[in-house]
């Protein structure tokens, strides 16, 4: 603290900061330290009363107690020194302010002298000198502004009244229009020489027009601003008149600077003005004016407008072509064929549609005539590319569908004409894909010789192949109608490997609702059928698919026939077996469908006998007893297929019991009673099952739909 309050400040800001710090030390810090020392003294007294302190400890503590008095002397001395320095600072600031006022008066005289500047002739040298003078004066005034702000800041720190320096800010405002005037005048004259006497090949007419209009507006405003200064107003009006005159040549400049002007347009201009104009890189606006172009402004504007629109069309055409340069087809391998196919062409198709629309719109423009042949060629190229891509994708989709089919020797052998056509298509297709892989750029890939014709021929052959394929599948379905339950792909999967009869297994459940698999011997002979619950039904004979010589439909027809015959044989055996064993044993001994069918036959015979004998009460009791037997079977351990059979049988038996109960309640006594003949009844007649209702009799079909009862 002592070292800091004794410091020597260099600036007014540091002086004021030090003064504030010393005052804070005197009024706040010292008071807090005295309180701390007082508490310390109480602790020392306590220690002296209860402990022995050494002489050194006592001397050290005594030094602390006298420190505040020493520090007060240091602070008083610092305040005196700071007060003296503050007086000096205030005196120095007053002196600086007087000197600054004198400098401002000098600059004011310079500004007044500059305002009177009114040269009779405006030469480049005169303008450059005026700009140099005004820039120097502006720089001095900016320095004055910074110094004034510094003086005001020190005045505020020293609590002195701030100096307004109104004259300074008045001069800053006053010099601004003169600064703008001379810079505008000089810039315009420098640019004018470049525009009028320099080559116009690289000039931007729109930018120049905008600049000239801006200069004209600036000078117009400045002329009004200098209403009380005739010299400055005269300069502004004089240069504005020059600008006004140059504005008359802007239409000519707009024309000759038009980037779209070609030799054909210059020939028209030459015809219009009646002078042969030869344009070089050094041609100037001055030359064009001397030739007399300003007299034909209207005609020039018309020629220029046409050139602009033609140039825009040419740029759009070039842009379209450039956009296609880097567009490539994305090719991906197809299975393990070694062939690469097109992928992700949506963006290409969208771009193609967009460019065709643009090209057709451009073709309809009246300004396309100069390059109509080029435009037409590009439009035809785009349309050709679109047609090629459409045919290409169509061919690819059909080839991908047919390629696996005609990879089968069986299909090739059964459809020789279609196979021969597919080989032709395949050869052309692979040649196109191979060429595309060499260069995947769209423009190059679609430039394959006779590509559109080849693809169209391919698609024609593919249509014939597909028609032949559909006719082939239709014949197979007509021979074996259950093939109608399969899709083309599923049927082709079977037909593509006719030497392997096991290929039909995954599709059997669609052809025959109740069959999950056929049972084959190791010699691939069909000997039975298997349900999804593993219930096996043996056939009454064997089917050898090899004897069909690849005709799958032929041996499947045989399977369907032997299936029906087998069910008839099993049904006959089950009917004969029913009276010889107890009912639960009989139920488990036969396939589910046969059990349900024979159970209904037996029930019909028993009810018929009960009606004759008037014992429907006993028949109802018998039905109840049979249901209870079946329920006990379900409660025991059964194989899954037997479980399904018994559960279904319980449902049928409950329905049959309800019918018997109803017949009993209605007191039916004749088998001709409508209440009986209106029920569905099963009869065993002539070794066949007949299903009857009222007066209708239908032979039981013995199909395998009900082998499993869901």
Do the beta carbons of residue 517 and residue 542 sit within 8 Å? Answer: no
Res 386 pLDDT > 70: yes
Res 218 pLDDT > 60: yes
Do the beta carbons of residue 514 and residue 596 sit within 8 Å? Answer: no
Q: List, in order, residues 6 or more apart from 243 with CB less than 8 Å away.
A: 188, 212, 215, 216, 219
Res 217 pLDDT > 90: yes
Res 701 pLDDT > 90: no
Instruction: Give how far Cα 607 sits from Cα of 120, 568, 615, 646, 658, Å.
Output: 142, 24, 9, 21, 12
Question: According to the model, what pLDDT value does residue 556 have?
Answer: 86
CA atoms within 13 A on the CB side of 568: 16
pLDDT confidence band for 705 (50 / 70 / 90): very low
Provide the strand spans (E) within 468-525. Answer: 517-520
Residue-wise pLDDT tens digits, 179-204: 999 999 999 999 999 999 999 988 99
Res 459 pLDDT > 90: yes
3-class secondary structure, 689 = strand
What percent of the chain is modeled with pLDDT above 90? 45
Instruction: Average the pLDDT over 233-255 and give the result.
Output: 92
DSSP character string of 328-374:
B-EEEEETTTTEEEEE--HHHHHHHHHHHHHHHHHHTSTT-GGGHHH
pLDDT confidence band for 93 (50 / 70 / 90): confident
Nearest to 207 by CA among 195, 219, 223: 195
Res 23 pLDDT > 90: no
Res 65 pLDDT > 70: no
Question: Average pLDDT, whole number, for the chain?
Answer: 87
d(CA 111, CA 61): 73
DSSP character string of 121-136:
S--HHHHHHHHHHHHH
3-class secondary structure, 44 = helix
d(CA 347, CA 680): 66
Instruction: Average the pLDDT over 656-685 and give the result.
Output: 91
What percent of the chain is modeled with pLDDT above 70? 91
d(CA 464, CA 471): 10
Instruction: Average the pLDDT over 605-622 and give the result.
Output: 92
Structure-model confidence comparison of residues 28 and 160, the more confident one: 160
Q: Which residues of 177-216 are buried (b: 16+ CB within 10 A; e: fewer)?
A: bbebbbbbbbebbebbeebeebebeebebeebbeebeebb
d(CA 569, CA 231): 133
Res 135 pLDDT > 90: yes
Please provide residue 360's backbone torsions phi and psi, each rounded to the nearest 5 degrees. Answer: -65, -35
Instruction: Average the pLDDT over 302-324 and give the result.
Output: 91
CA atoms within 13 A on the CB side of 266: 15
Res 707 pLDDT > 50: no
d(CA 218, CA 220): 5
Res 45 pLDDT > 80: no
Residue-wise pLDDT tens digits, 94-116: 888 989 899 999 999 999 998 88
Residue-wise pLDDT tens digits, 400-442: 988 888 888 878 888 899 999 999 999 999 999 999 999 999 9
Question: According to the model, what pLDDT value does residue 122 have?
Answer: 86
3-class secondary structure, 684 = strand
pLDDT confidence band for 706 (50 / 70 / 90): very low
Q: List, in order, residues 6 or more apart from 575 with CB less than 8 Å away.
A: 598, 601, 684
Question: According to the model, what pLDDT value does residue 28 have?
Answer: 74
- Ramachandran region, residue 689 (left: φ > 0; alpha: ψ -120 to 50; beta: rest): beta
Question: According to the model, what pLDDT value does residue 708 have?
Answer: 36
Do the beta carbons of residue 13 and residue 157 sit within 8 Å? Answer: yes
d(CA 636, CA 677): 37
Res 214 pLDDT > 60: yes
d(CA 594, CA 703): 11
Element (H, E) at 529: strand 526-530
pLDDT confidence band for 710 (50 / 70 / 90): very low
Res 679 pLDDT > 60: yes
d(CA 174, CA 166): 12
Instruction: Average the pLDDT over 133-142 and give the result.
Output: 94
3-class secondary structure, 691 = strand
Res 131 pLDDT > 60: yes
d(CA 495, CA 474): 13
d(CA 196, CA 191): 8
For the chain, give the number of residues.
710
d(CA 454, CA 179): 78
Instruction: Average the pLDDT over 638-662 and give the result.
Output: 90
3-class secondary structure, 467 = helix
3-class secondary structure, 447 = coil
State pTM to two decimals.
Answer: 0.59
Please provide residue 203's backbone torsions phi and psi, each rounded to the nearest 5 degrees. Answer: -80, 150
């Amino acid at each position: 603290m002592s070292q800091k309050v004794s410091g020597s400040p260099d600036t007014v800001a540091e002086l004021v900061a030090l003064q504030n710090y010393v005052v804070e030390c005197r009024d706040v810090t010292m008071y807090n330290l005295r309180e701390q020392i007082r508490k310390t003294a109480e602790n020392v007294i306590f220690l002296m009363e209860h402990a022995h302190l050494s002489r050194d400890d006592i001397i050290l503590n005594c030094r602390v107690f006298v420190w505040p008095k020493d520090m007060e002397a240091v602070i008083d001395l610092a305040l005196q020194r700071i007060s003296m320095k503050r007086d000096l600072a205030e005196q120095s600031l007053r002196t600086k302010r007087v000197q600054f006022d004198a400098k401002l008066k000098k600059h004011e005289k310079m500004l007044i002298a500059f305002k009177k500047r009114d040269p009779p002739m405006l030469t480049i040298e005169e303008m450059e000198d005026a700009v140099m003078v005004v820039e120097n004066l502006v720089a001095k005034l900016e320095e004055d502004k910074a110094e004034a702000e510094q003086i005001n800041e020190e005045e505020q720190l020293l609590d002195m009244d701030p100096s307004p320096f109104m004259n300074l800010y008045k001069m800053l405002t006053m010099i601004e229009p003169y600064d703008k005037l001379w810079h505008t005048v000089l810039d315009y004259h420098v640019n004018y020489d470049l525009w009028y006497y320099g080559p116009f090949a690289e000039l931007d007419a729109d930018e120049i027009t905008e600049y000239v209009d801006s200069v004209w507006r600036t000078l117009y405003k400045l002329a009004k601003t200098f209403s009380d200064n005739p010299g400055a107003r005269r300069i502004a009006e004089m240069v504005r008149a020059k600008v006004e005159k140059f504005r008359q040549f802007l239409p000519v400049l707009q024309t000759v600077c038009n980037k779209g002007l070609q030799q054909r347009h210059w020939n028209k201009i030459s015809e219009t003005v009646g002078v042969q104009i030869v344009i070089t890189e050094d041609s100037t606006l001055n030359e064009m004016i001397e030739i007399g172009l300003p007299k034909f402004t209207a005609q020039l504007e018309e020629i220029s407008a046409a050139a602009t629109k033609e140039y825009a069309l040419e740029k759009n055409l070039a842009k379209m072509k450039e956009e296609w340069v880097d567009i490539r087809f994305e090719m991906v391998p197809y299975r393990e064929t070694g062939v690469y196919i097109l992928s992700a062409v949506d963006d290409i198709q969208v771009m193609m549609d967009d460019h065709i629309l643009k090209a057709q719109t451009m073709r309809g423009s009246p300004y396309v005539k100069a390059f109509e042949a080029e435009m037409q060629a590009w439009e035809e190229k785009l349309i050709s590319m679109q047609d090629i891509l459409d045919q290409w994708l169509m061919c690819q989709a059909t080839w991908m569908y047919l390629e696996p089919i005609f990879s089968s020797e069986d299909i090739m052998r059964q459809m020789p004409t279609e196979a021969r056509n597919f080989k032709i298509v395949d050869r052309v297709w692979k040649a196109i894909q191979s060429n595309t892989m060499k260069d995947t750029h769209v423009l190059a890939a679609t430039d394959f010789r006779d590509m559109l014709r080849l693809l169209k021929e391919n698609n024609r052959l593919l249509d014939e192949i597909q028609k032949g394929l559909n006719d082939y599948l239709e014949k197979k379905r007509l021979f074996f109608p259950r093939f109608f339950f399969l899709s083309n792909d599923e049927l082709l999967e079977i037909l593509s490997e006719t030497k392997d009869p096991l290929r039909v297994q995954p599709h059997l459940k669609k052809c025959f609702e109740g069959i999950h698999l056929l049972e084959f011997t190791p010699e691939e002979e069909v000997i039975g059928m298997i349900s999804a619950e593993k219930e096996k039904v043996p056939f009454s004979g064997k089917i050898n698919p090899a004897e069909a010589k690849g005709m799958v439909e032929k041996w499947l027809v045989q399977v369907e026939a032997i299936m029906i015959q087998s069910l008839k044989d099993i049904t006959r055996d089950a009917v004969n077996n029913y009276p010889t064993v107890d009912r639960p044993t009989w139920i488990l001994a036969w396939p589910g469908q046969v059990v349900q069918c024979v159970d209904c036959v037996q029930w019909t015979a028993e009810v018929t006998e009960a009606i004759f004998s008037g014992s429907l009460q006993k028949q109802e009791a018998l039905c109840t007893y049979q249901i209870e037997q079946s329920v006990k079977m379900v409660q025991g351990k059964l194989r899954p297929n037997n479980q399904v059979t018994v559960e279904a049988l319980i449902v049928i038996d409950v329905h049959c019991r309800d019918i018997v109960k109803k017949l009993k309640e209605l007191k039916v006594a004749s088998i001709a009673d409508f209440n009986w003949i209106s029920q569905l009844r099963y009869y065993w007649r002539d070794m066949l099952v007949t299903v009857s209702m009222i007066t209708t009799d239908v032979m039981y079909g013995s199909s395998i739909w009900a082998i499993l009862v869901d």
